[in-house]
Structure formats: C-alpha cells, structure tokens
C-alpha cells in the first residue's frame, strides 16, 4: 500500500536526507560547515534540474510561436534597479530579539501568529490581525508593526522573551563594486529578479526578431536575494534560479492574456505529474504597486501550501519607468490599429529550485511490499519518466558467460538517445533498489535467454513488473516512454 509522507513535519527531513544521500542536493561548501541558504546540486540533482529547465523553456518557446528566448547578464546598469523600484522599495521589515540576537521578518512573525489563531478556530481575529499589519506596512508605520508584535505577546522561539528591537526596513539586494581601482569603482547589484533583463531588451528583441505584439520573451537565470530568514531547504535561498516570461500585449487586452497564462501554467504543472489536489491558485490580497492582477500557483509542500509560481499583470509599469529614466522610448507601433503605445505585460515567474522541490516532494514515495515475513518498506522516486535523472539502467544478471559484455553493448547502443547507466555491482535486487532510490523508470536486464534470442526484460520502477522485449525495439519503446513529447502532448490537448 502506498504511503506518501507529505503532510508531516518529518516528511521534509526525510526528503532532505534522501536528496543528500542520493546525490540530488548538497549544502554549499559543506566541508566548512555550509553557507546558510545556499545549496549545490549533485550528479542526479543537476540532471533533474536541467530536465525541468528544458521542459519549461521548450514549453514556452517551441509550443508558442510568439515566445522567444533570451539570456541577459546578471549584472545590469544600476539605474535599472532604480527604475524598477528595487532600490527604494525591495525591502522586508526585520526585527531582532535582544536576548537571543536572532533576526526575524516582522511580517512573518505576525503571519505565523495569524496562522496559529486560525488553527485555534479564531478566523476573524486572524483576519483582523493581518489587516492591521497590512495597514501599518502600507503606511510605512514600522513602530505600529512592532506594537502589534508586543500586543500579541509574540516571543522569540529561542530566548522565549519579547525583548524586541525596533522594526527596520532591510533591502534584499546584494551589492558589490565594479572596477579595478577602488576610487573609480561603482556600486552594482546582483539581480534580484531576471525580469528586468527582459524589459531592457524588449525593443532589441522586438526589432531584430520582427516580433508583433502580442509576443513573449522567456529567460532562465540566477537571481539573488539577501533573505532575512531563509528556511525550508531549497524553498527560500539567497542564490536561486528563476524561469520568467514577460508577455507584451496591447493595453486593454491584458486581463484576457492573464487568464490564458494562468490556465496554461497550471496545466504545465499538472502535465509534469503533480496531482490537482496538491496545487491551487492563491489570489494576492494586496497588489504590488505595479500590478493590476496577481495570483500564485501554490504547491502543497510538507510545510503547507506555499507559492511555487507567480503570475502577474504588471501593466506598463516597468517599460514606462525605464523609458522615463533612460529617456529612450519604449514604444511599439501597432500596425493593426495604427497607434504607438507602451505595451502592457503579463508575467509568469517560477523558481526552478521551488519547482525542483515540489517535484522531489511529489515523487518521494514509501510503500510496503510483500506479505508476512517477506514484508518490507520500499522507497522510490516516482518522477515522470521524462524528468528522471537516469532513464534506463542496463544490468547483466551475472557478470560471466558474456552477459556483462552484452549489457555493455546494449548500453553503448542506446546511451546517446537517453541517459543510460550500466551497473553490474551486487545482487540484482540491490541494483533495482539503487535505481528506485534515484527514480530511474526502467531497468533492462540481460540474462541467459538474451544470449539465445536477443531479448531482454524491462522492469518498471512503479509496478516492479517485467516485460520481455526484443533488443531491437528498446530504443523506440523506451525512447517514447521517456520523451518530453508526452508532456508537450498534454499541454496541447
């Protein structure tokens, strides 16, 4: 019987240790005790992450005739961040506990208090608390935010005291110096979102690609945020990767496109194998200054439903701000209506790492197999075959009598078509388990019958059943099963 441990606090711990033990995610610079909120992807993690990036990028650029790619730099002219509003308002309110010296996000402390009230059935109180906080934050009343924390008697979980500092705004952008000589050096930021690289290249792409509005630009790249509290493994990191697409539309049509992209993006996550019960939309209660509509796609992580992707109707805020500050027109001449305008933008923005975590949590499966004395626990990663780091493991039943050589030959004949591994170490059961633990969908076994009739058995990861097929059919059969086309077909249906 399947037993997905996704709702308990220990589920995340199990997933984190599994990710480390089987080469998916390691803490950064671990030999120096790691660096908080920074992680490295191991030999299996990089394959899974690359598959997620490829499927996203192709779904954007190959399935939509009017979406093209871009790869902009991490460093940008510092005025970019002035125009976008990040210099002045990309802040989180922080507060320190004087006894434990621990730092917290003041809004998170209050949100957690509201969640606690909700759990106690005091929904109205929770709502009133959040409204009070939003009012203070909107008015920039940080003393007011502190007062709510005091009134609610919120204590630091480490010192168990309410000995709080004042609340201060903390800008999340990392900065550094560019230039060799310190006097000439100027301040530069590590981009906190990839979107601005798209905005400043809007006209370059539109003109050189002869793009007609509506059209989109898709990009994958690193982003950096000096998060005050980084928690929950790779969910909130200081260095992470975003997959963003800005879709430029005629003003007045943005809500239609917003609805379309909302639906398309939800379909994408479903096509990757995430069940509908683990996904939901969450409309933003409070809109950012640049947005006229915004929604999150939330995934049911072991620590609750949380944002995985944001879809925002960003109006003409960014292009207009860049036009004003750079004094370069950011307009498009629309031949259909004979008018010049600054396009409106609908943005889809998903964190590659958050999607990775969602896919990993969704795949992590524990089940009991066998009966009586034979009963045992089995763990496997139930990835969509197209996303699995390794697609096929070729295993000779024994190393002798030419079986190992035959298995090598088969490996060499398919390894350029899909990611294939060869393993002849240990009992066959142990080798199946090794592949289950990293989510390999198929194990091809070479046995004595193979030597007679050129057939092999193919074991399915999920059902553990075996099918005998001809070696000549392997490439095509497995090729189809592990192909991303199966995901794209779902997206187009």
Q: From the annotation, which residues make up the binding site for ATP? A: 225-227, 235-240, 351-354
Minimum distance from CB of 5 to ligand GAP (Å)?
23
| Residue closest to 239 by CA, chosen among 298, 192, 187, 305 | 192
Decide if 409 contacts 466 (C-beta within 8 A). no
List binding-site positions for substrate: 105, 193, 240-244, 347-351
User: Residues 238, 229: contact at Cβ < 8 Å?
Assistant: no
The CA-based angle 299-302-308, given to 5 degrees, is: 25
Q: Would you say 217 and 205 are in contact if contact means Cβ atoms under 8 Å apart?
A: yes
Nearest to 348 by CA among 147, 99, 57, 124: 57
- Nearer residue to ligand GAP within complex by CB, 225 or 265: 225
Residue 493 CB, shortest distance to ligand GAP, in Å, is 26
Q: Is 344 in a helix, a strand, or coil?
A: strand
Cα-based distances in Å from 281 to 215, 276, 307, 363: 25, 11, 9, 21
Nearer to ligand GAP, 222 or 399 (CB): 222
Q: How far is the CB of 238 from ligand GAP (least distance, A)?
A: 7
Query: Which structure tokens are listed for 148?
Result: 């709510």
Q: Which residue is nearest to ligand GAP (CB)?
A: 351
For ligand GAP, the closer of residues 280 and 468 by Cβ is: 280
Which residue, 266 or 445, has its beta carbon nearer to ligand GAP? Answer: 266
| Binding interface with ligand GAP (CB under 6 A) | 193, 195, 225, 227, 236-237, 240, 242, 244, 307-310, 347, 349-351, 353-354
| C-beta of 316 vs 347, nearer to ligand GAP | 347
Residue numbers belonging to the annotated binding site: 105, 193, 225-227, 235-244, 347-354
| Residue 313 Cα to chain centre, angstroms | 20
Pair of tokens at residue 297: 């796609």
Considering the complex, state which of residue 41 and residue 240 has its C-beta at the smaller distance from ligand GAP.
240
Least Å distance between CB 219 and ligand GAP?
11
CB of 237 to ligand GAP, least distance (A): 4
Residues with Cβ within 8 Å of residue 268, at least 6 apart in sequence: 56, 59, 491
Widest distance between CA atoms in the chain: 81
Nearest distance from residue 298's CB to ligand GAP, in Å? 9
């Amino acid at each position: 019987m399947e037993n997905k441990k996704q709702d308990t606090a220990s589920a995340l711990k199990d997933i984190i240790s599994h990710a480390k033990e089987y080469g998916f995610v390691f803490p950064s610079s671990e030999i120096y005790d790691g660096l908080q909120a920074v992680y490295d992807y191991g030999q299996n993690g990089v394959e899974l992450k690359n598959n997620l990036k490829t499927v996203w990028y192709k779904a954007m650029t190959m399935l939509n005739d009017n979406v093209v790619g871009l790869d902009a730099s991490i460093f940008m002219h510092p005025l970019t961040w002035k125009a976008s509003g990040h210099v002045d308002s990309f802040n989180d309110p922080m507060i320190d506990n004087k006894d434990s010296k621990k730092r917290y996000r003041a809004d998170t402390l209050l949100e957690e208090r509201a969640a606690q009230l909700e759990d106690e059935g005091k929904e109205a109180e929770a709502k009133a608390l959040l409204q009070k906080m939003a009012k203070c934050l909107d008015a920039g009343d940080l003393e007011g935010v502190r007062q709510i924390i005091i009134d609610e008697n919120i204590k630091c979980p480490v010192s168990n005291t309410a000995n709080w500092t004042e609340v201060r705004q903390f800008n999340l952008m990392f900065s550094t110096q560019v230039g060799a000589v310190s006097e000439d050096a100027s301040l530069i930021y590590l981009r906190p979102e990839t979107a601005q690289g798209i905005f400043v290249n809007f006209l370059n792409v539109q003109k050189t690609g002869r793009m007609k509005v509506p059209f989109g630009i898709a990009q994958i790249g690193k982003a950096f945020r000096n998060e005050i509290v980084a928690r929950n493994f790779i969910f909130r990191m200081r260095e992470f990767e975003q997959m963003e697409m800005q879709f430029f539309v005629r003003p007045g049509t943005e809500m239609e496109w917003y609805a379309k992209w909302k639906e398309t993006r939800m379909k994408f996550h479903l096509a990757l194998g995430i069940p509908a019960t683990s996904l939901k939309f969450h409309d933003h209660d409070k809109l950012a200054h640049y947005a006229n509509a915004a929604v999150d796609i939330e995934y049911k992580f072991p620590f609750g439903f949380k944002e995985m992707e944001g879809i925002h109707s960003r109006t003409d805020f960014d292009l207009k701000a860049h036009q004003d500050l750079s004094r370069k027109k950011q307009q498009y001449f629309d031949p259909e209506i004979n008018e010049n305008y600054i396009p409106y933008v609908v943005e889809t923005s998903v964190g590659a790492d958050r999607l990775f975590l969602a896919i990993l949590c969704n795949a992590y499966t524990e089940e009991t197999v066998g009966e009586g004395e034979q009963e045992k626990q089995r763990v496997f990663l139930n990835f969509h075959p197209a996303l699995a780091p390794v697609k096929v493991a070729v295993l000779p039943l024994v190393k002798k009598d030419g079986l190992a050589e035959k298995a090598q030959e088969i490996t060499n004949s398919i390894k350029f078509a899909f990611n294939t591994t060869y393993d002849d170490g240990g009992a066959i059961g142990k080798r199946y388990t090794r592949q289950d633990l990293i989510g390999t969908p198929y194990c091809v076994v070479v046995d004595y019958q193979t030597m007679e009739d050129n057939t092999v058995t193919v074991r399915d990861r999920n059902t553990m059943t075996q099918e005998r097929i001809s070696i000549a059919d392997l490439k095509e059969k497995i090729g189809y099963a592990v192909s991303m086309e199966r995901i794209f077909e779902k997206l187009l249906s």
